[in-house]
């Protein structure tokens, strides 16, 4: 049986990984500055992570949510302690798309309304309502398009107010740093007024922190750079360092009812242990502080590269914008310099999403390779 061909693949076959490096079948080392879409938060094969999962799988890997699982409560308490999001409640699932799907469903339950406001260049997943709220017509099937979604421009608060005052909007969903869209951010006044307007109009404010959460921005959540209180916060990606886990943090003003949400695999024993080990390492190794420091170092060097027109993002969720499309540059970096980077829907942006334990030496290696790759693409004219 052949695989359903939906992924354009690079000719690299990883077989192992350690720290910030991935090794292929020929034992060639690749510097991982993409982390498999920002999933690898504490580094590949972190010894504490491996030990925790190994111990748990030897005891109990899975049982359903029909029985008590104290690991879920332990994970919930740890998220509260490390994130600073007091008094929220946790629902666990398996992925970012599922987190956003549940967030939107919960918002509709709470408000008894159905329309969603999302934003240009936003990406929220590939499932039913999540993909309908994503600004990419190519991945929205007719069955998804039945959802009621209005896509607005970032920073256009007047349009948001007009739409909210129509009274039929259950949720506003927004990324505080756009991932797939290309690292764009709205301004503080927009985000904070968005929060005010949602509360005024009985609309749930959903912070999509699937990619920007878990310390990647330099704070635990990117929304924490602003003065606002989301009703629902969606999380996934770096939450399990590669183990499939996602969830939503739910404000206590939203009341739970039996059967309202559900999942077979979400919050299983292995997932909880993976999530706990990630939080322990982030805390013990001060990885949020490292994200802030390494970001400043990265941005400082980026300013010395003349072809870089703009550096975008926060923390270790960064983008380098050029005045040309970066597909060939990415190929040069992976095949000639053995460095993984990411692309975006903005085809002129190179995405940088490394593990949070990256150091200056890794960054130096990247910029040396970037300069060489740029010289290879655009040879200097010799007079």
DSSP string, 261-321: S--SSTT-HHHHHHHHHHHHHHHHTTHHHHHHHHHHHHHHHHTT-TT--EEEEETTEEEEE
Closest CA to 131 of 156, 163, 96, 164: 96
Closest CA to 179 of 282, 19, 316, 289: 316
% helix, strand, coil for the chain, step of 5 = 35, 15, 45
pLDDT tens digits, one per residue of 306-365? 999 999 999 999 999 999 999 999 999 999 999 999 999 999 999 999 999 999 999 999
- The predicted pLDDT at position 381 comes to 45
pLDDT tops 80 at residue 374: yes
| Average pLDDT score over residue span 88-114 | 97
pLDDT tens digits, one per residue of 173-193? 999 999 999 999 999 999 999
pLDDT tens digits, one per residue of 287-320? 999 999 999 999 999 999 999 999 999 999 999 9
Closest CA to 322 of 310, 340, 336: 310
| Average pLDDT score over residue span 233-249 | 97
pLDDT tops 70 at residue 211: yes
- The predicted pLDDT at position 104 comes to 98
pLDDT tens digits, one per residue of 68-79? 999 999 999 999
Asked if 246 and 99 count as a contact pair (C-beta separation under 8 A), the reply is: yes
Q: Which helix (H) or strand (E) holds 98?
A: helix 96-111
Would you place residue 116 in the very low, low, confident or very high pLDDT band (cuts 50, 70, 90)? very high
- The predicted pLDDT at position 382 comes to 42
Residue 292 CA to residue 316 CA, distance in Å, equals 7
Percent of the chain with pLDDT over 90: 97
pLDDT tops 80 at residue 250: yes
| End-to-end CA separation in angstroms for the chain | 57
| Average pLDDT score over residue span 24-36 | 96
- Retrieve residue 77's tokens: 């308490």
| Average pLDDT score over residue span 194-207 | 98
Residue 125 CA to residue 210 CA, distance in Å, equals 10
Residue 219, SS3?
A: coil
Closest CA to 114 of 171, 62, 158: 171
- The predicted pLDDT at position 101 comes to 97
- Pairing between β-strand 89-93 and β-strand 317-321 as defined by DSSP bridges: unpaired
Asked if 204 and 107 count as a contact pair (C-beta separation under 8 A), the reply is: yes
pLDDT tops 50 at residue 383: no
Would you place residue 377 in the very low, low, confident or very high pLDDT band (cuts 50, 70, 90)? confident
pLDDT tens digits, one per residue of 135-149? 999 999 999 999 999
Strand order of the sheet with strand 310-314?
310-314, 317-321, 349-352
Query: How deeply is 150 buried, as exposed, middle or buried, from its count of CB atoms within 10 A (0-12, 13-18, 19+)?
Result: middle
Asked if 275 and 239 count as a contact pair (C-beta separation under 8 A), the reply is: yes
Would you place residue 380 in the very low, low, confident or very high pLDDT band (cuts 50, 70, 90)? low
């Amino acid at each position: 049986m052949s695989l359903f061909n939906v992924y354009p693949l690079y000719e690299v076959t990883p077989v192992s990984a350690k720290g910030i490096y991935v090794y292929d079948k020929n034992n060639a080392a690749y510097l991982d500055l993409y982390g498999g879409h920002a999933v690898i938060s504490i580094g590949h094969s972190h010894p504490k992570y491996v030990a925790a999962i190994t111990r748990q799988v030897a005891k109990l890997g899975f049982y359903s949510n029909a029985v008590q699982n104290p690991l879920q409560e332990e994970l919930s308490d740890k998220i509260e302690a490390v994130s600073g999001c007091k008094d929220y409640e946790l629902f666990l699932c398996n992925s970012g798309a599922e987190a956003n799907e549940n967030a939107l469903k919960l918002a509709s339950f709470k408000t008894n309304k159905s329309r969603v406001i999302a934003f240009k260049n936003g990406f929220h997943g590939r499932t039913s309502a999540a993909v309908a709220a994503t600004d990419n017509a190519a991945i929205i099937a007719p069955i998804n398009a039945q959802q009621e979604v209005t896509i607005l421009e970032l920073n256009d608060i007047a349009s948001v107010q007009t739409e909210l005052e129509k009274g039929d909007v259950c949720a506003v969903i927004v990324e505080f740093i756009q991932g797939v869209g290309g690292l764009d951010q709205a301004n503080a006044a927009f985000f904070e007024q968005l929060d005010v307007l949602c509360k005024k109009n009985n609309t749930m404010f959903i912070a999509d922190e699937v990619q920007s959460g878990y310390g990647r921005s330099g704070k635990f959540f990117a929304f924490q750079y602003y003065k606002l209180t989301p009703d629902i916060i969606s999380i996934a990606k770096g939450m399990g360092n590669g183990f499939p886990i996602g969830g939503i943090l739910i404000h206590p003003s939203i009341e739970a009812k039996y059967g309202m949400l559900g999942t077979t695999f979400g919050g299983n024993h292995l997932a909880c242990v993976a999530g706990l080990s990630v939080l322990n390492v982030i805390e013990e190794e001060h990885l949020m502080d490292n994200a802030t420091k390494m970001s400043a170092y990265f941005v400082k060097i980026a300013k010395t590269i003349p072809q870089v027109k703009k550096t975008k993002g926060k923390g270790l969720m960064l983008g380098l914008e050029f005045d040309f499309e970066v597909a060939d540059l990415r190929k040069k970096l992976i095949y000639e310099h053995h460095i993984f980077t990411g692309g975006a829907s903005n085809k002129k942006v190179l995405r940088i999403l490394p593990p949070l334990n990256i150091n200056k030496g890794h960054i130096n290696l990247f910029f040396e390779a970037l300069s060489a790759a740029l010289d290879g693409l655009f040879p200097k004219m010799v007079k």
